[in-house]
Structure 1
Amino acid sequence: METVRPIFEAFVDVNIVLALSVILWMGIRHLMDRSPLRHAYGLKLQMLNGLALAVLLTPFVALLYGKAKLLLGIGRDPLNFSDLLVASYLKGGIALKASQFEALLAWRSEATEHFLLRDTPVWLALFSVLVLGALFHAAHLAVQIFRLRRTMADCHEWRRMGRLSLLVSDHVAVPFSTRGLRRRYVVLPAGLLTRPTDLKLVLRHELQHLRQNDVEWEILLECARPFFFWNPAYRLLKREVEVLRELACDQQVVTRRGTDLRAYCDCLLRACRRGFSQQAQPMDVPVVTLVEVRRSWFGQGSSQRLRDRMLTMFDHRDFGAGVGRLRHLSLLFCAVLMLVVIGMQKPADWSHDRLMLDAIVNLEQLNKHNTFGRP
């Protein structure tokens, strides 16, 4: 169990940081939506991707920090949240009994112990849900990759440009982009070749996705699903990424010279209509489609998202040249998350403050015992 404990604690840490990062992002988005940058979707997407990457790097940062402390001989960590709380308690900043406060500090360690031992039906059920859920989503990912490979095998190569291949399929209703280990692919429905205007707009859209590295981010987020499927923050973050990448892509396409906004909207509508009329199966992973085609509640969710995309395009602006320096703000937010990760690590040893807290707890227990022992 001692081998599994650090892995599970890292798993808990990364899920906590994920929830904190989503809260941080909601605050950032709230401020940006009330500023002249409310339509800077490319900047928002880059900042959100930076936060997502910081979350995924959390276990490695904690590991490197622990190794660095050992190499440098650092004992007490001044950034440790637990030690800061103990110091605040001793100064009277927290109004709790010493035993209650100590129990609160030890709650996570005790919960980890119960979870790993699975010593009650509740902890056993929680353990089973997490393990079976992770296995289910990992199997689902493998099945989707297999289906994607089979779909790609049935396609015909139309054009090849460096490491990019344009494929044509008789069975695909909605264009999408994906990639392999070495090559990138844009898969087009065969009927699209007879509509040159739509073909040009679709290629602009999908190539912009490739420039934004949206396919790589989609693969990364889907591979993380087995570890975060139970965390609502993961779903919120992924949905935010999906919305922003489409808005950023649309913005880049419609602001390009020679793009007819009405023709582009008509193209999206036709693609969505074909997806529903031809009963196209939605591709969950690891692809980025032209339009989302999902049949939940008769497709109302997909229709609403497409409507929002079109309304946004009518109020578009090109922020490409004006926000270059602001992209570095994502580094600041990532640094904040890294400090949170460091602060959540266990204290290296017993400090003077902790010994004082332990003494107060013992005195409290002794006083309680003496009170009950009186006749």
Structure 2
Amino acid sequence: MEVVRPVFEAFIDINIVLALALALWFGLKVLLDKSPLRHAYGLKLRLLNGIAFAVVLTPLAVLIYLKAKLLFGLARDPLNLSDLLVASYLKGDIAMKASAFESLLAWRGQATEHFLLRDTPIWLGLFSLLMLGALYYVVRLGLQILRLRATLSRCHEWRQFGSVSLLISDHLAVPFSTRGLRRRYVVLPAGLLTRPADLRLVLRHELQHLRQRDVEWEVLLECARPLFFWNPAFKLLKREVEVLRELACDQQVVTRKGTDLRAYCDCLLRACRRGFSQQAQPMELPVVTLVEVRRTWFGAGSSQRLRDRMLTMFEHRSYDRRLGHLRHLSLLFGAALLVVAIGIQKPADWSHDRIMLDAIVNLEKLNALNTFGRP
């Protein structure tokens, strides 16, 4: 149990931080959408990637902080939210009965103990589902990587420059970009070689994905899925990343000199049509496709998203020269999330403020007993 408890607490912490990160992102998104930067999709993508990266770094950042606190012998944690609330209560800033306040602070720890110590079938079943779900997505990740390697092995190398290889596939309908440990790949359907105009546009699109490091971010998010598979906030955040990376990529492609907007839209439509007509299977981790080919109950999911992409291309202004220091806002928001992650850790039980709070609680209980015992 002593081994399971810190792992379970870290699991809960990182999911709490994810929910806070999503709330932070949507608040930031509302502000950006009301500003002149509402169509700065590249900036939005960098901010969201930075926030997502901070969430993934949460366990490591907390571990480093706790080790540093032990190393420097800090008796009082200056960042712990619970300790700050206790100090504020002792100053009289919080009007509340001491016993109720102490119960409020201890709620999370009691809930954790209740979850870990209960041996009823319901609690054991819930815990087992969490563990089996995480294991399932770990195995799924490994199988997807093996499947991707098999797909790449069936392709033919066309060209190579630097760390990027262009591959030709006879059995795939939709272009995509991916990477291995050392090399990055752009996989093209063989039929594109007979359409030079489409080939040029597809290469611009996929190479832009590589410049934006979209494949690396996709791999990072998929590796994090076993921790968040049950959390709806993860699915929402990942979907936001997928939408923004395509909008940012489209914006960069259509603002390049010599790119015809209508030809580019026609190219995307043809790729989507070929994907559906050839019954293409949706490519998942770790690839980034030219267009998404997913079938829904009504068959309109992917086509609707493609329509939204093409509509946003008419707002294809470039914001790169006006971003400046805004590029680094993701560092600020990421640091804020890491501070929150540190702040929600379990506090020390022996701090002076907590001893004083316990004394006040005991005096309150004693006073209640004396009052109850009076005639």
Q: 2:76 matched to which residue of 1?
A: 76
- Give how far 1:10 is off: 1.8
Secondary structure of the structure 2 residue equivalent to 1:57: helix
- Give how far 1:251 is off: 0.3
Q: 1:343-362 to 2 correspondence within 5 Å?
A: 343-362=343-362
Superposed CA RMSD in Å reads: 1.7
Aligned length: 375
Q: 1:244-323 to 2 correspondence within 5 Å?
A: 244-323=244-323
Check the 8 A contact 1:75/1:349 in 2, yes or no: no
Check the 8 A contact 2:75/2:351 in 1, yes or no: no
Secondary structure of the structure 1 residue equivalent to 2:297: helix
Check the 8 A contact 2:176/2:289 in 1, yes or no: yes
One-letter amino acid of the counterpart of residue 307, structure 2: R
Give distance in 2, aligned partners of 1:76 and 1:253: 53
Secondary structure of the structure 2 residue equivalent to 1:297: coil
Give distance in 2, aligned partners of 1:202 and 1:299: 24
Unmatched 5+ stretches in structure 1: none
With normalisation by structure 1, the TM-score equals 0.95
Give distance in 1, aligned partners of 2:243 and 2:75: 45
Check the 8 A contact 2:14/2:58 in 1, yes or no: yes
Cα separation, partners in 2 of 1:298 and 1:158, compared to 1, 3 Å: farther
One-letter amino acid of the counterpart of residue 27, structure 2: G
12-21 vs 80-89, which deviates more? 80-89
Give distance in 1, aligned partners of 2:373 and 2:235: 55
Secondary structure of the structure 1 residue equivalent to 2:186: strand
Alignment deviations for residues 313-369 of structure 1 (CA, whole Å, 9 cap, x no partner) = 011101112103211111111121122122122223423321222123223434444
Q: 1:330 matched to which residue of 2?
A: 330
One-letter amino acid of the counterpart of residue 311, structure 2: L
159-168 vs 263-272, which deviates more? 159-168
Sequence identity (%)? 77
Q: 1:9-158 to 2 correspondence within 5 Å?
A: 9-158=9-158
- Give how far 1:91 is off: 4.1
Check the 8 A contact 1:178/1:286 in 2, yes or no: yes
- Give how far 1:138 is off: 1.6
Secondary structure of the structure 1 residue equivalent to 2:66: helix
Alignment deviations for residues 110-151 of structure 1 (CA, whole Å, 9 cap, x no partner) = 222233334333322321221111112122222222221221
Alignment deviations for residues 136-195 of structure 1 (CA, whole Å, 9 cap, x no partner) = 212222222222122111111111112111111111111000001111111111111111
Q: 2:190 matched to which residue of 1?
A: 190
One-letter amino acid of the counterpart of residue 241, structure 1: V
Moved over 6 A (4+): none
Give distance in 2, aligned partners of 1:116 and 1:193: 59
One-letter amino acid of the counterpart of residue 167, structure 1: L
- Give how far 1:284 is off: 1.5
Unmatched 5+ stretches in structure 2: none
Give distance in 2, aligned partners of 1:163 and 1:351: 55
